[in-house]
Amino acid sequence: MTAYKTMYNKDVTQEVDENVVIARWQKGDQDAFDELYNLHAQSIYRLGWAMLQQTQAAEDVVQETFLRAYKARQRFDPSKASFGTWLYQIALNYCRSHLRKKRLLTIPWLRQTDEAPDLPDARPGPESSALRSEYRRMLWEAVQSLSDPLKEVVTLHYYMELPAVEVAVLLECPEGTVYSRLHNARRRLAAMLTAQGFSAPEILEAQNAH
Amino acid sequence: MPTRHVDKLLEAYLDNQLSAKALARVEKHLQECPVCVERLYEAKRLRRELGPVLRVTLGQPSLPPRLQQKVKNELYNSSSNAWFRLNWVAPMRFLGAMGNMALMAALAFGAIVVIRGYIPGAGLFYSVEPESGASGVAPVLVVTPVLTTSQTTKNNDVPAAEPDDRRNTLGDTVTLFNSGEVTQSEANKVIGVIEDEEYQNDYYPLVTPSQPYITPRKVQDELALPGGTIAYALYDTTPGIEAYRTYFISPNGDNLRPYALLDVSEPALHPNANNDYALAIRTWEEKSNPRTILTSNFSSEKRQSVANYWEDAQADWSPKENRIIFASQRESDRNWRLYTTWGDGSREDNLWRDGRSPTFAPDGKRFAFESCDKFGNHCGLWSGHLYDTSEDGYKVILEDRLAKSPDWSPTGEQIVYMANPDDNWDLYMMDSDGSNVRRLTDDPAIDGLPAWSPDGEWVAFVSNREDDWGLWILHVDSGKLHQTITFDNGYLTPEDRRPYNEHEKRFWWDEQISWSSN
């Protein structure tokens, strides 16, 4: 078989191997579970962390995702989505319901959790300056104030670095919807940054750079 | 002929995901539309910056290694009875919802629903007899020409406030005078003093000494041990008891006797405990006593509840008056807040301040407590004044999140507390303005819950040094150390079970001990 890249930049031969592992896992093989866990748990943990921003909650996301996946293991359909995407879907559903529950108790994003990351950047880049870190903080806060669907798309596309095609599969929506959400998110962010006085010089600088 | 804006297509354009036709359209439009060119730069910039900003701000935490085994256990050891979780949760929720609906329906039709818990004014449900003629110790009036109040007995009698008036929560109007301007009739009404230079304390940054300035050393008989009574509470695990018991003991270890009531803890002895109201104590069970703070004499024959809620706790006596200050989680957000009341339970007042573990200064007006400011910053030990409960009246005296259980010395000059700067609970002492922090102990064992002796020379504390929890006393000038007793009839904290962890887990540092002169 010629090794060619799929649109997820994954080797097809690897995919085939994974299918074998999944089949073993579906029969209850614990070694197969270990292999799948090593492949996918890290990115699910990052997703949970990005969505919920608490280490304990992110651990719960990993645990619940694998528990639910195992319960529903016969329903996994490789023709619809890759195994990783399927796990992402389960994790994302869990995050959403977790956030919904939390929302009953408190107004989200206003509450700083204990483990909320420190906002100022610890690793100053080449353009490091007070303005720069202030800009980062503004951008971060602007992202946090986006509505849930937009924030999900931004998190998946920019933080998790998933291509829009895969985000579309994951969210079970057309690719065009993903792009239009990215567009809406960009307009919101730009509006918020402009309101904070962060537009003109940065854009000029960008124009000069190109 | 201008073409349609292509703003919405820019992300797909940058991802190279457009069809040939759409691509041609976008490129043609970008030639002629400066607005869309600007949008393109905007999109490029966010594309370039958003990922790094999110990754830097959120971090990219790595998976805890132990999680794998945990998930695996959960998965393969509990899947045999998974039907239980799958099939029972939903119906139980449904039943819970039905119960709520039934309750609401009952309320709507005017049925009387009895809810277990506190019912305001329902004193007749409780079996404590009213005290005959014992109204407590009268407040001691301190006559000094600095501050006068127009004293009122009830809050609704308070005259309308003048523009510059400062009003405290006790219903008194506070007026500041310069010395010498006060007439005799005004001086007769003075009940408290605020001395400015003492009150305007500065904030000193946290300096945690690593060495004790004294050398605590254990001595047996070479010193005269102080007198008085120390009170402490232990959880008795004897089958059939399984409750907190409070004990009294002399500092030399003699005369150990239990308090008569069961299931009471967090004792606070009045510094000059007499046979009227020696003790304020938290009760946990409702069988024979209201579950709140009681005041009582040593023998528990004369007792009455002075507060109203289950969550009221951590009482401390004013050394001057028959007043206690306490903390409570009674509000539904379960934040600790400060309250004060007279020792007979009359005139409870909310101090409108978050905080816990309050301790009175010897003047009976100032107090120190654990708290943060209203934004959650500057956590540590704070001081306040009963007559100035505005936000400005509270001052941080020591900024240390792990400083707990302050006790203000009877001389007024020092505050002793416990802190944990190097992962080891030890005793510290500072001047009452937060300066001059000194370390008292540095034993690798836990030292905590300090309480001053009535003469201000000794500090009693609990410690697990020498392998067993026990009660110790330390002479703060010489470092002489004496063990009063080993706790062999109970534990400082109960097992993790109700009702002792109603709102959060209970730890040993939630207890308190106390020392009186009689």
Q: What is the 3-state secondary structure (H, E, C) of B241-292?
A: CCEEEEEEECCCCCCCEECCCCCEEEEEECCCCCCCCCEEEEECCCCCCCCC
Closest to B449 in 3D by CA, of B495, B393, B412, B487: B487
Contacts by A31-38 with C-beta closer than 8 Å and gap 24+? A33/A66, A33/A70, A33/B72, A33/B75, A33/B76, A34/B68, A34/B72, A36/A83, A37/A66, A37/B68, A37/B71, A37/B72
User: What CA–CA distances, in Å, run from B475 to B76, B217, B269?
Assistant: 59, 10, 20
CA dist B214 → A171, B71, B104, B209, B217 (Å):
66, 51, 64, 12, 9
Rounded to a whole number of angstroms, the distance from the CA of A13 to the nearest CA of chain B is 25
Is B44 an 8 Å CB contact of chain A?
A: yes
Number of structural domains chain B divides into: 3
Could you give the CA distance from residue A87 to residue A151 in angstroms, rounded to a whole number? 19
How many angstroms away from the CA of A1 is the closest CA of chain B?
A: 28
Residue B126 belongs to some domain of the structure = no
Averaged pLDDT, B217-246: 82
CATH number at residue B349: 2.120.10.30
Option in B49, B71, B76 nearest A62 (CB) = B71
Residue B105 falls within a domain, yes or no?
no
Report, as an integer, the average pLDDT of B238-254: 86
pLDDT of residue A3 exceeding 50? no
Q: Which of A41, A46, A121 has the CB atom closest to B60's CB atom?
A: A46
Residues B506, A188: Cα–Cα separation, whole Å: 46
CA distance B357 to A135: 42
Query: Are B465 and B334 in a shared domain?
Result: yes
**Same-domain status, B275 and B172:** no
* pLDDT tens-place string over residues B305-348: 888 888 899 999 998 888 899 999 888 788 899 999 988 887 88
Interface of B with A in 351-410 (CB under 8 A): none
Q: Which of B61-75, B108-122, B276-290, B454-468 has the lowest mean pLDDT?
A: B108-122
B324 to B280, B345, B360, B365: CA distances (angstroms): 8, 9, 9, 11
* B78, closest residue in chain A (CA to CA): A67
In a domain, B92, yes or no: no
**Residues B372 and B496 both lie in one domain:** yes
Kindly state whether residue B296 falls inside one of the protein's structural domains.
yes
Contact B58 A49 (CB under 8 A): yes
- Mark whether B310 and B368 lie in a shared domain: yes
The answer to whether B184 faces chain A, any CB pair under 8 Å, is: no
Q: Is residue B310 part of a domain?
A: yes
Q: Do A186 and B43 touch (CB under 8 A)?
A: yes
Q: What is the pLDDT of residues B430-474, one digit of tens each?
A: 998 888 888 899 888 999 999 999 999 999 999 998 888 899 999
Reported confidence tier of residue B145, pLDDT bands at 50, 70, 90: very low
Among B37, B58, B79, identify where a domain stops: B58
B303 Cβ partners below 8 Å, 6+ apart? B128, B261, B289, B294, B295, B296, B297
Average pLDDT over residues B171-181: 52
- Do B167 and B230 share a domain, yes or no? no
Is residue B493 situated within a structural domain? yes
Residue B488 shares a structural domain with residue B419: yes
Task: Give how far A78 is from chain B: nearest CA, Å.
Answer: 22
Question: What domains appear along chain A, each with residue ranges and CATH number?
Answer: 1-116 (1.10.1740.10), 118-210 (1.10.10.10)
What is d(CA B294, CA B341) in angstroms, rounded to the nearest whole number? 12
Answer yes or no: do B301 and B177 share one domain: no
Do residues B154 and B246 share a domain?
no
Nearest to A121 among B56, B70, B75 (CB): B56
Query: Residues B311, B162: one domain?
Result: no
Is B203 within the bounds of a domain?
Answer: no
Same domain, B168 and B50: no
Q: Which of B159, B193, B227 is the last residue of a domain?
A: B193
CB contacts, 8 Å: B17 with chain A? 164-165, 175, 179
Complex ipTM tops 0.90: no
The answer to the question of residue B84 being in a domain is: no
How far apart (Å, rounded) are the C-alpha atoms in residues A189 and A142?
Answer: 6
Give yes or no: residues B358 and B505 share one domain.
yes
Q: Which domain holds residue B50?
A: 7-58
Do residues B257 and B167 both lie within one domain?
A: no
